[in-house]
Amino acid sequence: MGQFIQLVIDGFANGSIYASLALALVLVRRSTGMINFAQGAMGVFTTYVALLASNGGAIPSPVAALAALVCGFVVGAFLQWGVVRRFNVRNAQTATVVSIALFMLVTGICGMAWGYVVRDYPSLFPNAVLPIGPAVVSVQSLGTAAVVIVVVVLLQLLFYRTKLGLSLRAVADNPESSQLVGMNVARLLMVGWGLAAVLGALAGVLVAPKVYLFPQMMDQVLVYALAAAILGGLDSPIGAVIAGWIIGIVEALAGVYVGIIGSDLKIAVPLIAIFVVLLVRPQGLLGRKEVARV
Amino acid sequence: MNRSTRAAIPLLAATAVAMLALTGCSPRVAGDDSSGGPAQASPGITDTEIDLGMTTPLSGPLALVGSQALAGLQTYIDKLNDAGGVTFGDGKTRTIDLKGYDDGYDAAKAVANVQQEIAEGKFMNVGGLGTANNLATMPIANQNQFPNVLLQSGADGLSDDQADNPWTIGYLPTYTGETAAFGKYLASLGKPITVAILAQDDDAGAAWADGLKQGIQGSQVTVVDEEKFEAGDPQVDSQMATLAATKADVFFEATGQLNIIPQSMLKAQQLGWLPELFLPSVASGAQQSIVPGSGQAFPAIFSVAFSKDPNSPTFADDAEVQAFKAEFKQYAPAAIADAPLAQAVWGYQTGAVLEAAFQAMKEPTRQAFMDALHSLSGISIPLALDGVTFDATGTTTSPMTATVVVQQYDFEQKTYVNVG
Amino acid sequence: MDRFLASGRTRWIAFAVLVVAIGIVPIYAIPYVNYQLALIAVAAVSILGLNFVSGYIGQLSLGQSAFVGIGAYAAVFGVQQGWPDILIFLFSCAASGTIGLLVALPTARLRGHGFALVSLALPIVAIPLANRFQAFTGGATGRSVDWLHAPAWSRLADDQWRLYIIALIAIAFFLLGRNFVRGKFGRALQLVRDDELVASANGVDGYRARVLAFTMSSIFAGAAGFMYLLAVQYVTPNTMAFLSSLYLIGALVIGGRASVVGSLFGGVFYVAVPVVAGQIDASQTTLIYGAILIVVLFLVPDGIVSIPARVSVLVRRLRRPSPRKRGIT
């Protein structure tokens, strides 16, 4: 029983990690209409910047993390303005290839600047564990989950209570009409990417203490984040987070309790589960149903 | 002709020209080989220079260790070149040129790279890291009588059948040999011991686990659980939960992944499991694993080694290590110059072996090089631990197989000491 | 470009040039060049298959590398059983195609990102599966074969003989693909891509079209896997890596979406860019690849196959100034 509880707790913790990057994916999707395969790599880059900013521990890690977030906004806006804008990303194939190219570019820059060495990254939270019955949970996981929940709330506020959020949604939904009513579409797209990159940067500093910092750090996390985002319904932050938790827990339990799956194939289970869910509910758990007008 | 036809004809013409340009001067049929006769010099070597190639992962999941291997060998070679080069067995002094080729740990790319090296007239392929990619290149080496040597992999397959693969030889002690030594050490303690294994799901992980199982055969040591994870998995929490539940005496890390090992160590501590710990040689460095993983919480940490850890405080005053670190800082790419890993040390050692082989090489041919290499025995290897020797005269083993030492980490002295 | 090829005379000229080139190049070229040409053929056939799903029917698929791997492992099995080569080839195509069909049947009900995610799942799951069935696949180390040597009567070297066979298969599959997309199936696919409601109003079932496209795509991938084993003589689970699927999509778009000839250009791009990147700086291949991809995509957003059309538009515009310049609004 103790092992079961531990697995659920750990699955929940890892789910928060997947959710943190999934939120960035949801944001870029909602504000610019595309899926950004480079989101994880951009988060890695900003985490390296945070490491530089922390100056070997001289600067406290929350301050360094803040630097990462600011850097994230700048990088995201810059990439949108400098690269993404110059392509027809309404076309799904083009958008995919552009973001794949950015993924390679950013990963390559990290590799060139900092090498492929695995580095320590200090956590924002203290390194303690708390007992929960026969199991333990780390303060870091609790902190990560808390941050993720706060971000979800902020995103909901942004999209539904602010003019900026409304503008972002309008631009993603119908850029031509938005332009016609006088919105600065170009600037809004930059802001969208910038904000998404901020979330990606946040994901980076939350994840790096656990998985250690190296250029490919987010590669596999991206797959989980994509899965969480799609399962949750691509435009729903709440859905992405809940989906992330579900994926984390299902994966952990299946790997241990379903003998034929085993620990090496455990990733198959959430993917199959998502497949089944999408068959029944193509819009994901909390996504909006697509209606085609005839 | 319509417009688009007109537009396309230049494209066609360009394609045709490009194809013709690909052709050499003369047709080639079966039986043509490119290695030259016995007496004349092989490609890639002149009176003043010898050209080497290395195909190794420089991108993708193994980029870290692949680039270390390249940087290590490059350091030794640059050092030799700065001193004027190497005096070969035929009396000529030559400088060495090394070119790296990225294969991203992909077998098809590695084969392409070796063929490219042959086409570009390199003398040999040396020191590349990885198992699957190197195994794929062995037939190409055979077909072209192209030396494919001192490959950084612990796989048996690279060296264990040199009758069939005379042009290929590995360098590292085999993974199975390494961990069999530890298994025998455990068996020698003469009491029942339980072992839990965390293995990366590839040939290296499998070989490390197998070696341990071989070493403990017939003894009171038993493996109670083995959990696997894929390369690239960001976390191994569920595996650790299962392993910790066994409360085994020994936690055997059959992985070299430096992002997983410290995580697993921390997780074990969180779960209240404090076994004795085993780390394979590639990951035993204090800075890489013991410090980030809070290793002092464990009652004992073991590893096997054959070379000195450049980041260990014990060797901080060691002349060889200091020289190596200074040279690495000087010649390696800036992003990694301050942090050489074990793979860099092994690349550097490979350079020393090459130097010895070149010095014994009587003729500027590939065959003469292979003969010289196989004649080497008992040469001095820089940064090797005491008692470790190099012997390339065998035909079924890698040159460094014979001697690995089981060590235990001493937390006060912050170094490993021999136990087995 | 396809319009150009539609012209009968140029079609024959192009074909003749290609046949002559394929006939003589392997004799004269060094093994390295023949090897790269073989890999180009493998990539081109994979991309052509992928084009059915991602180009013609417009559905992003990230799993092509898994099917290529299935084809290659199937070929390994055939080689180990000692089957005749034709049978091995058919087995590769059939194994890959069958699994493709089985996957497509439920998956084609999904659309857009759900489909993409499932296709992404394929290579992700295939690698640990391949590692697990070690007895069959050789585990992580993979399997090496020594297979299909040039017969003595041909007086050819192995790499030359294999390249001829690979080229033959590639030509056959390109002709097959071309007929497929020109026929009613191809038109149906594009109709589904452009507007599925209109398609179904016209009696074209989107679901069946997707199943068909995906199955064809996996059959092509199976053939590509056979060709891969023939060229490399080695297969590992890493062949099916997810990254390869991403690179294939990139090459597809650069070559030209929904274009048979574009798939060939995509194959060239897929093989050539890592080589070029390695020449520039072997330690930074990822960065250089990303940079090249962005630049090329920017210069030719519709793919290399659109270059002749763009060139002729440019030429036209240079000769005759645009109406705007004359002050007409």
CB pair distance less than 8 Å for B238 and A256: yes
User: Is A271's Cβ below 8 Å from some Cβ in B?
Assistant: no
DSSP, res B158: G
Examine the pLDDT at B49 and tell me if it is beyond 80: yes
Q: pTM of the predicted model, to two decimals?
A: 0.88
User: Is A219's Cβ below 8 Å from some Cβ in B?
Assistant: yes
Cα–Cα dist B172/B134, whole Å: 13
Best residue in B70, B229, B233, B235 for a mutation probing chain A (most A CBs within 10 Å): B235
User: Is B97's Cβ below 8 Å from some Cβ in C?
Assistant: no
Instruction: Give residue C172's pLDDT band: very low, low, confident or very high (50, 70, 90).
Output: very high
Residue A117 has its nearest CB partner, among B64, B234, B270, at: B64
Measure B207 CA to nearest chain A CA, in Å: 17
User: Is B206's Cβ below 8 Å from some Cβ in A?
Assistant: no
User: Is A210's Cβ below 8 Å from some Cβ in B?
Assistant: yes
Cα–Cα dist A158/B9, whole Å: 56
Tens digits of residue pLDDT in B197-225: 999 988 889 899 999 999 999 899 999 99
Cα–Cα dist C68/C122, whole Å: 11
CB pair distance less than 8 Å for A275 and C118: yes
The string over C283-318, giving b where at least 16 C-beta atoms fall within 10 Å of a residue's C-beta and e elsewhere, is bbbbbbbbbbbbebbeebbbbbbbbbbebbeeeeee
CB pair distance less than 8 Å for A3 and B258: no
User: Is A47's Cβ below 8 Å from some Cβ in B?
Assistant: no
* Span A51-59, average pLDDT: 84
| B176 or B394, higher pLDDT | B176
* Span C278-282, average pLDDT: 88
Q: Looking at this protein, which amino acid is placed at residue A148?
A: V
* Span B176-187, average pLDDT: 90
Q: Which chains touch A (3 or more CB pairs under 8 A)?
A: B, C
One-character DSSP codes across C107-130? HTTS-HHHHHHHHHHHHHHHHHHH
Instruction: Give residue B56's pLDDT band: very low, low, confident or very high (50, 70, 90).
Output: very high
Q: Looking at this protein, which amino acid is placed at residue B280?
A: P
B263 contacts on A by Cβ (under 8 Å): 210-212
Measure B334 CA to nearest chain A CA, in Å: 8
CB pair distance less than 8 Å for B227 and A263: yes
Instruction: Give residue B36's pLDDT band: very low, low, confident or very high (50, 70, 90).
Output: very low
User: Is B285's Cβ below 8 Å from some Cβ in A?
Assistant: no
Instruction: Give residue B3's pLDDT band: very low, low, confident or very high (50, 70, 90).
Output: very low
CB pair distance less than 8 Å for B131 and C33: no
Instruction: Give residue B6's pLDDT band: very low, low, confident or very high (50, 70, 90).
Output: very low
- Average pLDDT of chain C is 86
Q: Evaluate whether B211 touches B176 at the Cβ level (below 8 Å).
A: yes
Measure A163 CA to nearest chain B CA, in Å: 38
How many CB pairs below 8 A link A and C? 127
B201 contacts on A by Cβ (under 8 Å): 264
CB pair distance less than 8 Å for B116 and C275: yes
Residue A263 has its nearest CB partner, among B228, B245, B272, at: B228
Measure B153 CA to nearest chain C CA, in Å: 12
Lowest mean pLDDT among B346-360, C121-135, C167-181: C121-135
Q: Show which of residues 253-292 on chain C sit within 8 Å of chain B, judged by CB atoms.
A: 274-275, 277-278, 282-283, 285-286
Closest Cα partner for A233 from A21, A10, A23, A85?
A23
For residue C117, the model assigns a pLDDT of 85
User: Is C244's Cβ below 8 Å from some Cβ in A?
Assistant: no
Q: How many residues does chain C have?
A: 329
Cα–Cα dist B86/A191, whole Å: 60
Examine the pLDDT at C1 and tell me if it is beyond 60: no
Tens digits of residue pLDDT in C32-45: 889 999 999 999 99
Measure B312 CA to nearest chain C CA, in Å: 28
| C94 or A159, higher pLDDT | C94
Q: Which chains touch B (3 or more CB pairs under 8 A)?
A: A, C
Tens digits of residue pLDDT in A186-210: 899 999 999 999 999 999 999 999 9
Q: Looking at this protein, which amino acid is placed at residue B232?
A: G
ipTM of the predicted structure? 0.88
Lowest mean pLDDT among A117-131, B387-401, C312-326: C312-326
For residue B4, the model assigns a pLDDT of 39
CB pair distance less than 8 Å for B111 and C131: no
CB pair distance less than 8 Å for B4 and C7: yes
The terminus-to-terminus CA distance of chain B in angstroms comes to: 84
DSSP, res C188: H
Measure B187 CA to nearest chain C CA, in Å: 29
For residue C165, the model assigns a pLDDT of 93
Q: Evaluate whether B93 touches B63 at the Cβ level (below 8 Å).
A: no
CB pair distance less than 8 Å for A266 and B61: no
Residue A255 belongs to a domain: no
C-alpha angle with apex B12: B9 to B13, nearest 5 degrees? 85
Long-range pairs, C307-310, Cβ under 8 A, ≥24: C307/B11, C307/C1, C308/B4, C308/B7, C308/B8, C308/B11, C308/C1, C308/C4, C309/B4, C309/B7, C309/C1
Sheet holding B148-151, edge to edge: B86-87, B93-102, B49-56, B124-126, B148-151, B168-170
Q: Which two tokens stand for residue B385?
A: 């631990």
User: Is C6's Cβ below 8 Å from some Cβ in B?
Assistant: no
CB pair distance less than 8 Å for C131 and B202: yes
CB pair distance less than 8 Å for C121 and A271: yes
User: Is B129's Cβ below 8 Å from some Cβ in C?
Assistant: no
User: Is A215's Cβ below 8 Å from some Cβ in B?
Assistant: yes
Residue A279 has its nearest CB partner, among C109, C121, C293, at: C109
Residue A254 belongs to a domain: no
Selection from A88-92, B147-151, C149-153, C281-285 with the highest mean pLDDT: B147-151
For residue C97, the model assigns a pLDDT of 96
CB pair distance less than 8 Å for A212 and B258: yes
A215 contacts on B by Cβ (under 8 Å): 63
Examine the pLDDT at B10 and tell me if it is beyond 60: no
A247 contacts on B by Cβ (under 8 Å): none
Residue span of the structural domain in which A195 resides: 2-217
Measure B292 CA to nearest chain A CA, in Å: 7
Return the domain boundaries, chain C: 33-241
Measure B339 CA to nearest chain A CA, in Å: 8
Instruction: Give residue B265's pLDDT band: very low, low, confident or very high (50, 70, 90).
Output: very high
For residue C101, the model assigns a pLDDT of 95
CB pair distance less than 8 Å for A104 and C110: no
Closest Cα partner for C93 from C105, C103, C83, C101?
C101
DSSP, res B384: B
Cα–Cα dist C142/A77, whole Å: 44
CB pair distance less than 8 Å for B230 and A120: no
Instruction: Give residue C130's pLDDT band: very low, low, confident or very high (50, 70, 90).
Output: confident
Examine the pLDDT at B287 and tell me if it is beyond 80: no
Residue C197 has its nearest CB partner, among A37, A230, A292, at: A292
* Span C188-205, average pLDDT: 78
The terminus-to-terminus CA distance of chain C in angstroms comes to: 32
Residue C125 has its nearest CB partner, among A37, A109, A267, at: A267
CB pair distance less than 8 Å for C283 and B23: no
Number of structural domains, chain A? Answer: 1
CB atoms near residue A286 (< 10 Å): 18
Instruction: Give residue C31's pLDDT band: very low, low, confident or very high (50, 70, 90).
Output: confident
Residue A107 has its nearest CB partner, among C131, C132, C286, at: C286
Best residue in A96, A265, A277, A290 for a mutation probing chain C (most C CBs within 10 Å): A96
- Average pLDDT of chain A is 89
Residue A206 belongs to a domain: yes
Map chain A to HEC letters: CHHHHHHHHHHHHHHHHHHHHHHHHHHHHHHHCCCCCCHHHHHHHHHHHHHHHCHHHCCCHHHHHHHHHHHHHHHHHHHHHHCHHHCCCCCHHHHHHHHHHHHHHHHHHHHHHHCCCCECCCCCCCCCEEEECCEEEEHHHHHHHHHHHHHHHHHHHHHHHCHHHHHHHHHHHCHHHHHHCCCCHHHHHHHHHHHHHHHHHHHHHHHHHHHCECCCCCHHHHHHHHHHHHHHCCCCHHHHHHHHHHHHHHHHHHHHHCCCCCCCCCCHHHHHHHHHHHHHCCCCCCCCCCCCCC
* Span A157-174, average pLDDT: 87
User: Is B334's Cβ below 8 Å from some Cβ in C?
Assistant: no
